[in-house]
Amino acid sequence: MRWLHAKGVSLMETVRPTSAGERAERARMSGGMPTLEFEREIPYDAYVRTDVLHSLQRPLSDAPGEMSFLVITQVMELYFKLIAFELSAAQESLRAGQVRDAAGALRRTALHLEGLNGSWRGLRWMTPADFNKFRDQLGEASGLQSGMYRLVEFRLGLKNEALLRPFRRGPKWEALHRAFAEPSVWDDAVALLARRGHDVPGEVLGRDFRAEYEPQESVERAWVEVYAAGPAGDDLRALGDALAEVSERFGDWRYQHVAAVRRSMGAKPGSGGSNGLAWLERSMARVVFPELWSARTHM
């Protein structure tokens, strides 16, 4: 379906796809100068929806730091969506046995996590005095209530049923509940190892995917075997390396989140009812893809 925007004109009609030949001819006819006249909406604005994006920043105070906080938070939400999209693509490829495609999606995920982590740099200047100028206006709003971030956690295997509760009456409930009940990226990677001949017991493969994942010696041994297999296991080693990169970059995200909270509010209670810094520090202890790291002791 063509997406309609202002005045009932479709996005495809405004952007108007072109071929390489058309682009070359246009550059020849213009002498290399860019097109500056358009019959309808500027194609860039139509494609990116800049009018929508730039209308979403509605600060609740006059504090200069709130615009930084709001825009960077919105950028992070977009990164969460992109990361969740790539993790879903990785899972589809893993389930289809397309290991290299899965590794590619995971490598992209790691790069998006780098971009996400870079967002924190825009808030490094914020002291408690700066944050306190608008913090009260946030009410009970908290990053802990981000449904898209929770979707990322579920796909990475960090499951906690209590954290589903805020979304029961909202539009994200179905997607979150499904991701909570389904295998995670790690579960799919472990199932792939079993299909490739590694000895993973049935009780691991058929576990309750709603439960928090517990490290398994059999999975650890399987990864040791993958890295010892030689050229025959190149695709699985590439998968392991891509998973490790995602795990590291996600760990960087959690560390930088803790650092930002420590810098801007210390150990004060969080807006969403948690004890703030202590809650985040506890969450850092939950390791993503644990056997991929413990296996290194035995390699």
Show binding-site residues for heme: 257
Tell me how far CA of residue 54 lies from CA of 29, 57, 58, 127, in angstroms.
34, 7, 10, 26
219 in Cβ contact with 200 (< 8 Å): yes
**Binding-site residues from annotation:** 135, 257
Q: How many CB atoms lie within 10 A of CB 282?
A: 11
Q: Provide the CA 243 distance to its chain's centre, in angstroms.
A: 14
Q: Please list the alpha-helical segments (H only) found in the chain.
A: 11-15, 20-30, 43-48, 50-53, 64-95, 99-118, 128-132, 147-156, 173-181, 185-195, 202-205, 217-228, 234-265, 277-283, 290-294
289 in Cβ contact with 244 (< 8 Å): yes
39 in Cβ contact with 29 (< 8 Å): no
Task: State both tokens at 284.
Answer: 């850092």
**Binding-site residues from annotation for substrate:** 135
- What's the CA gap between 177 and 193, in Å, rounded? 26
